[in-house]
A and B are shown apart, each in its own frame.
Chain A
């Protein structure tokens, strides 16, 4: 499970792209694709390979009128699913 001090990193070969046919964002990895919703895009857009998970969720909490603990829990589950499928890596 990703911790507050962990730094999420989008690995080489994985990138976000707008699918013009279906008009939605997808995350592309070699031979694999996942579809994202607007909140998923917002979370991934905050990942710069420098900031920790805690800093990212603090930034999201400042943007959205939602409890920080709810944003952290949802973001943790979302990023955890991507880590499990190797769409995302974590540095400590």
Chain B
């Protein structure tokens, strides 16, 4: 697995909101 910028998404009320990363 190659390194890449990690992605974090907050799951709220069925929606996903980007917290960090592309």
Contacts and interface: CB of A to CB of B under 8 A. Distances in A.
Name A's interface SS. helix
A34 B10 contact: yes
Nearest to A27: B8
Q: How large is the interface on A (under 10, 10 to 19, 20 to 34, 35 or more residues)?
A: 20 to 34
Given A77-B20, A81-B19, A85-B19, A36 B2 contact: no
Contact of A65 (B2, B8, B19): B2
Contacts of A74: 3, 5-6
Contacts of A23: none
Contact of A78 (B2, B9, B11, B21): B21
B10 A39 contact: no
A74 to B, nearest CB: 5
